A and B are shown apart, each in its own frame.
With several copies, the nearest count.
Chain A
């Protein structure tokens, strides 16, 4: 006997094809039209947030922005499949998912604006800080879920990472801990084809990233990451399985990063324009719009409402980010530990003295608070 039941399907689950036509799947059902309409609205808003953030980078209001343009279906579905008590563990690329979960866009942008390392109330929205060191957050997600289980809480944790991150040791350890302890975590890999400049072929020789699930004894599945219906169905089932004691799953979404890694990146160095162009046809918004319009679920009125809702979000982002936050240098010392040590106190006093003197000098000589000496 071979454990063939362990193998992921050889193709990605798709419920709505690139032309917006429904695909009948033997296992997964198309989400209802209300859900799809909500998802479409999320896509519209997500796209607008990505575009607005890009513009704010160009205007120098954001230091950096890793865009999820093209990956909005994954972002929106990740937020939608979770219940209120569930938690999301996102990465730097998942700002749209973070916002879709309820975080104010301005708060989600604090890191990228450069004001602080994370800017939202993690507990209010049940969203962990966006992780930068790759794959490290997957272990946090596992431990977080273990703690919930320990206390008998009904919490499912959705942990996000990219294709590149699957090569890190922490990915392996997280998958393995989750499987051994049968923890209610869903690992959701957005395979967008690249880790900065490095293509998937340099990350793995396996038929798919979902195949990695086999080695941990957990279910793995591939899904068309630009088909929000499919992502909702597949992620939703995995979340349910986790909630019902069925343990962790690994879901790989096939998607594409339409823009450079961040604004600092130059993707013409490592991929052909043709390749990027080809993915426009698979855009997550387009196909869902076609589908919903054909199904009569989406009319011009709704389109209009969604667009203006998205525009409001963008306007709020502009307002928030065009304002310089009033930053307090003492914050550097405030949160390092729960109680500040005399050692840090002494250092803050040094800095405070400098700041006071620079203000005095300011007042006196009109120099800038920093840069000019004395």
Chain B
């Protein structure tokens, strides 16, 4: 009996907790999704024999064949546009766009169709596709290789936008994204690809939810992607200085988990939002505005944000000045009208 057999396998796997990199967790999520659903196909540039420039699709073509993981001609609008067509016809395409600046040629397809086709057809056709995009900096990449474009996607109604900050979330959120009936922009923080953590493949994550990454009582840091480990580092340092810092991994950039975030900020009365992208008209400014409006009566101080500057991303040798760092976040925390302020 096939079903019983599958059930057993699931049970065995439920117990499996392994330490792996985020890259491996993503690879595992893709493989498991391909294996468990015949409608899942993975494609993009260099995802086949090469296994992707970051090796996230490593071994998939060898294991599952060209039908399930394949290279396309070099054209991002083509990749996303054909994925839309496949999704219209009942498949679950998972496409990789190589760097987030190279997702831009597909922007029309993403905004005008990926985001809107379900709405256009009154649900007659849904768009169960996932667009994976390595994003963010901190890897010494040259121009066009370090951008954080989440604002473009998060602003677009109809798109679910998520970013993991741990291998566990990388696995669980990617599985959830692939299983979702809605289109998901899946932003992978390049800087964290080789960071390690435990992964339990039986843990399911829910899209649209934030996660408390560390408890604390004095101030809440709201972060996502590569800014989460930074926030946790800040919390460590601040703890040594006697301040108890709560860290929320926003995780779902759209839709937003107001319940979790609002509860968190109300509990501390102070908040700083951290993100790498230029701050102007950004996910960080949205979070700042929401928290401000929803927690107004609870705030002891203005909500601050620490973000990238409103400039093009820095060249490799200058990126350490560009990126939010521990000091900059600590400085922001310092401005939050503490009782011990003079």
Complex contact flag A–B (Cβ < 8 Å): yes
Residues on A facing B (Cβ under 8 Å): 63-64, 111-118, 121-123, 128-129, 132-134, 136, 138-148, 150, 164-165, 167-170, 172-174, 176-177, 180, 195-198, 202-204, 264-266, 269-270, 325, 327, 329, 331-339, 341-344, 346-347, 351, 354-355, 358, 370-371, 373-374
Beyond known contacts A167-B75, A196-B50: 13 more, CB 8 A cutoff: A64-B142, A117-B119, A117-B315, A118-B121, A129-B117, A129-B121, A143-B82, A143-B87, A167-B78, A204-B73, A332-B321, A343-B256, A347-B311
Q: In the complex the two chains form, is A114's CB within 8 Å of B157's CB?
A: no
Q: How far is the CB of B149 from chain A (nearest CB, A)?
A: 13
> Among the listed B82, B280, B314, which residue makes an inter-chain contact with A146, where contact means beta carbons less than 8 Å apart?
B82
Complex CA distance for A373 and B48, rounded to whole angstroms: 43
Check A354–B328 contact: CB distance below 8 A.
Answer: yes
Give every chain A residue within 8 A of B113 (Cβ-Cβ).
133, 136, 140
- Residues of A within 8 Å of B83, CB to CB, are 143
Q: How far, in whole Å, are A114 and B313 apart by their CA atoms in the complex?
A: 12
Contact with A along B218-248 (1 / 0, CB 8 A): 0000000000000000000100000000000
Whether the pair A329, B123 counts as a contact (CB closer than 8 A) is no
Q: Mark B106-150, 1 if CB is under 8 A from A, else 0.
A: 001100110011111111111000000000000010111100000
**Nearest Cβ on chain A to B150's Cβ, whole angstroms:** 16
What residues of A have a CB within 8 angstroms of the CB of B256 in the complex?
343
Interface size class on chain B is: 35 or more
Question: A107 → chain B, closest Cβ, in Å?
Answer: 12
Chain A CB within 10 Å, residue with most, of B41, B45, B85:
B85
4 tightest A-B contacts by CB?
A143-B85, A139-B81, A114-B316, A143-B82
Interface flag for B198 (CB, 8 Å): no
| Bound Cα distance from A150 to B91, whole angstroms | 10
Residues of A within 8 A of B259 (CB): 342
Q: Which residues of B contact A (CB under 8 A)?
A: 41, 45-46, 48-51, 53, 67, 71-78, 80-91, 93, 101-102, 104-105, 108-109, 112-113, 116-126, 140, 142-145, 157-158, 160, 180-182, 208, 237, 255-256, 258-259, 280, 309-312, 314-318, 320-322, 325-328, 330-331
22 contacts between A and B (CB under 8 A): A63-B142, A64-B142, A114-B317, A117-B142, A118-B120, A129-B120, A129-B125, A132-B144, A140-B85, A143-B87, A146-B85, A169-B77, A176-B78, A180-B73, A198-B48, A203-B73, A269-B51, A270-B50, A335-B123, A338-B180, A370-B325, A373-B237
Query: Known contacts being A331-B318, A344-B309, is A143 close to B89, with CB within 8 Å?
Result: yes
Which one of A165, A338, A347 lies within 8 Å of B181 (CB-CB)? A338
Supposing A140-B84, A338-B118, A343-B255 touch, asked if A111 and B123 sit within 8 A by C-beta, the answer is no
CB B208 to nearest CB in A, in angstroms, measures 6
Judge whether A344 and B88 touch: CB under 8 Å.
no
Which residue on chain B has the smallest CB distance to residue A157?
B85
- With A203-B74, A329-B321, A337-B158 known as contacts, the answer to whether A351 contacts B309 (CB < 8 A) is yes
Query: Do A173 and B142 touch across chains, with their CB atoms under 8 A apart?
Result: no
Residues of B within 8 A of A150 (CB): 41, 67, 86, 91
Closest Cβ neighbor of A176 among chain B residues: B73
Most A C-beta atoms less than 10 A away, residue of B73, B84, B91, B113:
B73
Please judge, given known A-B contacts A148-B89, A342-B259, whether A136 and B81 are in contact too, CB under 8 Å. Answer: yes
Closest CB-CB distance, A352 to chain B, in whole Å?
A: 10
For B41, what are the chain A residues with a Cβ–Cβ distance below 8 Å? 150
Known: A122-B121, A332-B311. A167 touches B77 (CB 8 A): no
Query: Which residue of chain A is the closest to B73 with respect to CB atoms?
Result: A167
* A327, A336, A347: most-surrounded residue (chain B CB, <10 A): A336
Nearest B residue to A180, CB-CB: B73
The docked-state distance in angstroms from the alpha carbon of A117 to that of B319 is: 12
| Set A134, A331, A341, A346: member contacting B74, Cβ < 8 A | A134
Q: Is the CB of B71 within 8 A of A197?
A: yes
Which chain A positions have C-beta within 8 A of B77?
139, 169-170, 173
> Is the CB–CB distance between A168 and B86 below 8 Å?
no
Instruction: Using known A-B contacts A146-B85, A170-B77, A198-B71, determine if residue A343 contacts B315 with beta carbons closer than 8 Å.
Output: no
Judge whether A370 and B320 touch: CB under 8 Å. yes
Least Cβ–Cβ distance between A83 and chain B, in angstroms: 16
Q: Are B74 and A165 in contact (CB under 8 A)?
A: yes
A198 to B88 Cα, complex, angstroms: 27
Tell me the nearest residue of chain B to A170, going by C-beta.
B77
B131 to chain A, nearest CB (A): 14
Q: Output the least CB separation between B307 and chain A (Å).
A: 10
Q: Is the CB of A196 within 8 A of B315?
A: no
Contacts of A123 in B (CB 8 A): 124-125
User: Which residues in B have their C-beta under 8 angstroms from that of A329?
Assistant: 318, 321
> In the complex, A145 Cα to B86 Cα: how many Å?
8
CB of B321 within 8 A of CB of A142, answer no
The CA of A374 and the CA of B82, in the complex, are separated in Å by 48
Q: Given A198-B45, A327-B317, A343 and B310 touching (CB < 8 A)?
A: yes
A117-B142, A133-B101, A337-B182 are contacts. A139–B109 as well, Cβ < 8 Å? Answer: yes
Query: Chain A residues with Cβ under 8 A from B89's Cβ?
Result: 143-144, 147-148
**Once bound together, how far apart are the Cα atoms of A373 and B330, in whole Å?**
9
For A336, the chain B residues whose CB sits under 8 A away are 118-119, 157-158, 310-312
Say how far B294's CB is from chain A's closest CB, in angstroms: 11
Which residue of A has the minimal Cβ distance to B142?
A111
- CB contacts (< 8 Å) of B280 on chain A: these are 343
Report the separation of the CA atoms of residues A163 and B101 in the bound assembly, to the nearest whole angstrom: 20
Given the known interface contacts A63-B316, A133-B102, A336-B311, the answer about A111 and B143 at a Cβ–Cβ threshold of 8 Å is yes
